[in-house]
Structure 1
Amino acid sequence: METEIPLMLLSRAAQFPEERFTFHSSRMRMKKVTKDELAAMDKDSDRCALELSDAQVDVLGYACLVAIMSMGKGYHRESEKRLHQVTVDNGNPAPVISSAGALVEGLHTMGAKKVSILTPYMKPLTQLVVDYIESEGIEVLDAVSLEIPDNLEVGRQNPLAPAEHIKRVNTANADAVVLSACVQMPSFQSVQQVENSLGLPVTTAAISTVYQMLKALGLERKVENAGSLLSGRF
């Protein structure tokens, strides 16, 4: 998220020259992508929301999809509400967008009832993601796990690699494809290529987060080469 969201928002400069974005991060600690570390990391989210609200930011993005989804079905609503209240209590209220909630909402926005997904996670965590998405009324037809346990290694993946990995995913009968269900795995440079190749709407957790951020900011939800969700159709 720290790379892909600035990439997308700054790429709007030619279309929307009046916009100016700044980016601020507060980090929750996590090294290995395991359920225990994810739960410990999530406990840090209140501290992060407090620190970021000191900067009077206009919107906050919670940058770990699987941390939210591993905490139980529907948890993104509880998390977003609680973290927003932290900013209110600090005197600098700001909406909070979780990548987990954004992905689900993005798929609903596109009218997707059946999806296929690619994740960098170990298979048990991918199953938690599948179960979470399905609990939100979206059927997951196929899910492929790259099984990369090290969080930094996930972030070092080639952003063009998902265009190759998606060939392992069964996308037949899918309404949409989630090219990366993880905001840590670079994927933006593959999205339009895969969408054009498959003839299906393609999104990622990061793209969905940008959509919801732009919506919260009252800005046009459009980014070039970011797939159907940010094409301006929605």
Structure 2
Amino acid sequence: MQRVFRIGQIVPSSNTTMETEIPAMLGAHALVHGTRFTFHSSRMRMKTVKKEELAAMDSESDRCAIELSDARVDVLGYACLVAIMSIGKSYHRISQERLHGRTVENGAPAPVVTSAGALVDALHVIKAKRVAVVAPYMKPLTQLVIDYIEQEGVKVTDSRALEIPDNIQVGRHDPARLPGIVAAMNVKDADAVVLSACVQMPSLPSIAEVEARTGKPVITAAVATTYAMLRALNLSTRVPGAGALLSGAFDDQAIAPRAASVHA
């Protein structure tokens, strides 16, 4: 019987994009590699993208990890970059270790990927030292994201805060607008473009166009999360149409993952 990989997603209650873009990329992976995936989510309550609400939401992530480990998922993805980055320096490492611990305690160990950790790790994988960043957040939260990225050793050379406070509206932002937004930025000195520093802001349809226009590798939080999940599952990271990171060129450059179980 063909093996099936179970993808667990810890998702803000108002998020609508994590469960569309990541399945789309893994669906493309399945067409190329013959893999099979199923998708399973647990939700944390969040409607407005502000620091206090993000912190309250994060407190629900332990419950979500336990619920998903009940389903014996092979990897868990925490789908809110700004929630992690707004809490403090290196918090993605603390969160990943704690949530992995919840799965161990529940008798179903699984690696945990956060979109925040996946993004900063991806920038190191492609050896980007300087990046331009597009984020949907209000300016103070965007600055926290910039500070977090820079604390991880990557300089942000230019950024755009789209200032969309309602998370539902973030998910409705037209990705066709992103190439124009990037065109108005100074990306000359950047090694890469972070087209969406948010798994809720749709960006997948515009990645190829922005790469073609800028001549730079383009990464999004969702692309980085997909890359990290594939590495955790010891699968090829070649996914058509998802940009340089998922070209397959970086299969051997990720941090060594924990072993993941596989279900038939």
| TM-score, length of structure 2 as denominator length | 0.87
1:2 corresponds to which of 19, 25, 28: 19
Alignment correspondent of 2:78: 62
Alignment correspondent of 2:190: 174
The answer for unaligned runs of 5 or more in structure 2 is 1-17, 251-264
Write the letter of the residue equivalent to 2:232: A
In the TM superposition, residue 124 of structure 1 has moved relative to its aligned partner by 0.1
Give the distance between the partners of 2:60 and 2:178, measured in 1 at CA: 30
- % same residue: 64
Moved over 3 A (4+): none
Higher mean alpha-carbon deviation, 194-203 vs 152-161, is at 152-161
Alignment correspondent of 1:84: 100
Alignment correspondent of 2:206: 190
The answer to whether the 8 A contact 1:144-1:168 is kept is no
Write the letter of the residue equivalent to 1:14: L
**Between Structure 1 and Structure 2, which shows a larger proportion of strand residues?**
2
Alignment correspondent of 1:104: 120
Q: Secondary structure at the match of 2:157?
A: strand
The answer to whether the 8 A contact 1:57-1:94 is kept is yes
Give the distance between the partners of 1:164 and 1:228, measured in 2 at CA: 20
In the TM superposition, residue 172 of structure 1 has moved relative to its aligned partner by 1.4
In the TM superposition, residue 160 of structure 1 has moved relative to its aligned partner by 2.0
| TM-score, length of structure 1 as denominator length | 0.98
Give the distance between the partners of 2:69 and 2:184, measured in 1 at CA: 42
Alignment correspondent of 1:16: 33
> CA RMSD of the aligned region, Å?
0.7
Alignment correspondent of 2:173: 157
Q: Secondary structure at the match of 1:163?
A: helix
Q: Secondary structure at the match of 1:97?
A: strand
Q: Secondary structure at the match of 2:198?
A: coil
The answer for unaligned runs of 5 or more in structure 1 is none
Give the distance between the partners of 1:101 and 1:225, measured in 2 at CA: 23
In the TM superposition, residue 13 of structure 1 has moved relative to its aligned partner by 2.5
* 1:1-34 C-alpha deviation (Å, 9 max, x unpaired): 11110010001232112x1100011011111000
Give the distance between the partners of 2:211 and 2:22, measured in 1 at CA: 19
Q: Secondary structure at the match of 2:33?
A: coil
Q: Secondary structure at the match of 2:156?
A: strand
* 1:26-79 C-alpha deviation (Å, 9 max, x unpaired): 011111000000000000000100111110000000000000000001000000
